[in-house]
Amino acid sequence: MPAFSVDAIRADGTDLECTVSATGGLSRFLSGDPFRVSYDRPIDDVPRSVLIIPVLSQLCPVAWARGGDVRAPVVDQRFARSLAAVRDALGDMHSFIAGGQLRAPRRRTEVPDRTDGSGLLFTGGVDSTASYVRHRDEAPTLVSIRGWTITPDAADDHKWDVLRARVNSFAKPRDLETAFVESNMLRFLDHPMLLAHYKRHVDGAWYSSVGHGLGLTGLCAPLAYASGIGDLYVAATHWEGIDLAWGSRPDIDGHVRWAGVECHHDGYELTRQERLDLLATYAEESPHELELQTCNDRLDGNCGRCEKCYRTAIGLRLAGLDPIDHGYRFTDTDYRTVRESFERGHWVLGIDERHMWADIRDRARETTPRSQAERAFFAWLDSVDLDELVDSSRPPLSHRVLRAGARAMPTGVYRRLYPLWSEATTIRRRLAQGRN
């Protein structure tokens, strides 16, 4: 049977490193780099049964996709028990999840001295900010993670500095603690290879559609132990009624736990527009400025031109807020740009975006337009077939051909070709953005 094995766990000050080996074809999903995490506080006193949780949280979904096991020298008893429910939830969503077991000869229960604090995975976007508003009486520690949307590459150092500064600027006037976690989880895993094998099965990428619920919460285990965090909140992306295969859902996040810690998928009962309503009420009551960061293309502010920026700006308007006051350059003339971008296929859209725009359309039907441009856009949105817009929006053929070839291509050849293709794709995208 294919299996991953965690061969070594080392904690040194604020740094964690694990080495992993694989059998039965699973090695192609490992890059060969050790798994690494850096925290902003010492983890030397965290027990090994908890230190191992971050790497297990990355490995288990990959092993389950191949019907494989994960072997570990020791693990937290509560975490080990929670994995079965997470595996079953992923299996209910994805037909390629074939099952597998965590095999650890030693299972421990080592509860920290204090578990009365709370933590919130935080980016400064709509969802995580709404979760802060919901739990602000708890004064949660704001936890930000580098390794997914911000890579560990030196080229992304500036992005990470910008995100840290932005989170700190949100936390300081509200008297909140922050925590910053850096990991190579998507360098340790061969994410392009995972994408090549499973992109055809999912609406997004591997980590968004499969891995990030367990993966991100698991990264926080040593931090939670060292900080006395007993409740960890993960803001919901979607809401009740959306049956979308996504790596973070109530039946995934809500089952993740370890000694002294419960994880919570937060805000699932609210649509995105209702979360914006919550933020509108908070903005009226709070003495603090509220600037959101949701851009797909920038972290040092919002570009105001990508699909997510436009979507958020229109949602803010529907909530009764002026987007300009909250980080978005948006005027009535932008409504025409949004419509043209949809109709000309400037944006690659998925089922996720279809639900987001349907939510906006539902609210627009209940809202009196404030201008002729807004009225015209609302009328168009009410009449357009969103499913058709999504169906006509597909990644370039070159993307699909490369992934198809990679499934049969020798691993070494693919790893040499992928960086060249990725760099060319980035250059092409930047040129296209410059023309728009």
Say if residue 306 is in the same domain as residue 359: yes
Give the structural domain span for 336: 295-391
Please tell me whether residue 374 adopts helix, strand or coil conformation: helix
User: Of the candidates 391, 406, 423, which is a domain's last residue?
Assistant: 391
Q: Which residues have a Cβ under 8 Å from the Cβ of 430 and sit 6 or more positions away?
A: none
Which one-letter DSSP state was computed for residue 207? I
Say if residue 250 is in the same domain as residue 369: no
Count of CB atoms situated within 10 Å of the CB of 397: 8
Residue pair 130/235 in contact by the 8 Å Cβ criterion: yes
To the nearest 5 percent, what fractions of the chain are helix, strand and coil?
50, 15, 35
Say if residue 401 is in the same domain as residue 353: no
User: Of the candidates 247, 266, 285, which is a domain's last residue?
Assistant: 266
- Is 64 part of any domain? yes
Say if residue 236 is in the same domain as residue 300: no
Say if residue 302 is in the same domain as residue 186: no
- Is 343 part of any domain? yes
- Is 381 part of any domain? yes
Distance from C-alpha of 144 to C-alpha of 293, rounded to nearest angstrom: 13
How many domains in the chain?
A: 3
pTM of the model: 0.89
- Is 85 part of any domain? yes
Which one-letter DSSP state was computed for residue 140? P
Distance from C-alpha of 108 to C-alpha of 146, rounded to nearest angstrom: 29
- Is 284 part of any domain? no
Q: Are strands 117-121 and 229-235 parallel, antiparallel or unpaired?
A: parallel
Q: Are strands 102-103 and 69-71 parallel, antiparallel or unpaired?
A: parallel
Residue pair 129/104 in contact by the 8 Å Cβ criterion: no
**333 Rama sector, left if φ>0, alpha if ψ -120 to 50, beta otherwise:** alpha
Residue pair 370/314 in contact by the 8 Å Cβ criterion: no
Say if residue 384 is in the same domain as residue 401: no
Say if residue 29 is in the same domain as residue 177: yes
Say if residue 45 is in the same domain as residue 110: yes
Say if residue 367 is in the same domain as residue 253: no
- Is 48 part of any domain? yes
Single-letter amino acid code for the residue at 331: T
Say if residue 408 is in the same domain as residue 382: no
* pLDDT by 10s per residue, the chain, length 436: 899 999 999 999 999 999 999 999 999 999 999 999 999 999 999 999 999 999 999 999 999 999 999 999 999 999 999 999 999 999 999 999 999 999 999 999 999 999 999 999 999 999 999 999 999 999 999 999 999 999 999 999 999 999 999 999 999 999 999 999 999 999 999 989 999 999 888 867 899 999 999 999 999 999 999 999 999 999 999 999 998 889 999 999 999 999 999 999 999 999 999 999 999 999 999 999 999 999 988 888 899 999 999 999 999 999 999 999 999 999 999 999 999 999 999 998 988 899 999 999 999 999 999 999 999 999 999 999 999 999 887 654 444 444 444 444 444 544 555 455 455 444 444 444 444 4
Q: How far is CA 355 from the centre of its chain?
A: 17
Residue pair 213/247 in contact by the 8 Å Cβ criterion: yes
Say if residue 375 is in the same domain as residue 415: no
**394 Rama sector, left if φ>0, alpha if ψ -120 to 50, beta otherwise:** beta
| Half-sphere exposure of residue 144: CA atoms within 13 angstroms, side-chain side | 23
Say if residue 72 is in the same domain as residue 219: yes
Question: What is the chain's alpha carbon radius of gyration, rounded to the nearest angstrom?
Answer: 22
pLDDT of 299 reads 83
pLDDT of 413 reads 46
